[in-house]
Amino acid sequence: MKYLNVFVSGGSKGIGKNCVLKFLQNGHKVYFTSRNKIDKNNYLKKDFRKYEKNLIPIQFDSLKFNNYKILLKKIKKLDCLVNNVGDAVKRSSFEKSNLELWKKSFDINFFTAYCATKTFLQLLKKSKKGSIVNISSISSSFGGFPDSLHYGIAKSCMDKLTQSLGKELGKYNITVNSVLPSVIMTDFQKRHSSKQRVRNVLNSTPLGRLGEVEDVSDMVFWLATKNTYISGSNIEIAGGR
Active-site residue, 151 included: yes
Element of type H or E holding 25: helix 14-25
pLDDT of residue 183: 80
Total-model pTM: 0.94
> How far, in Å, CA of 165 to CA of 162, rounded?
5
Among 28-37, 135-144, 180-189, 219-228, whose mean pLDDT is lowest? 180-189
For 167, which DSSP code? H
| Rounded (5°) CA angle 218-26-119 | 75
pLDDT of residue 1: 63
> How far, in Å, CA of 126 to CA of 161, rounded?
21
CB 109 within 8 A of CB 62: no
SS3 172: helix
Average of per-residue pLDDT values in the chain = 93
> How far, in Å, CA of 113 to CA of 95, rounded?
27
pLDDT of residue 175: 98
Is residue 46 very low, low, confident or very high in pLDDT (cuts 50, 70, 90)? confident
Q: How many Cα atoms occupy the beta-carbon half-sphere of 41 within 13 Å? A: 0
CB 152 within 8 A of CB 222: no
Element of type H or E holding 233: strand 233-237
CB 182 within 8 A of CB 211: yes
SS3 32: strand
pLDDT of residue 210: 85
How confident is the model over 79-90, as pLDDT tens digits?
999 999 999 999
Closest by alpha carbon to 215, among 180, 191, 241? 180
How confident is the model over 148-201, as pLDDT tens digits?
899 999 999 999 999 999 999 999 999 999 999 988 876 666 676 677 777 887
> How far, in Å, CA of 21 to CA of 59, rounded?
18
| Beta bridge mates, 207 | none
Please pick, among 43, 68, 151, 229, the residue that the annotation labels catalytic: 151
Q: What is the DSSP string of 49-93?
A: GGGGGGEEEEE--TT-GGGGGGGGGT-S--SEEEE------S---
- Domains for the chain: give ranges and CATH numbers: 5-237 (3.40.50.720)
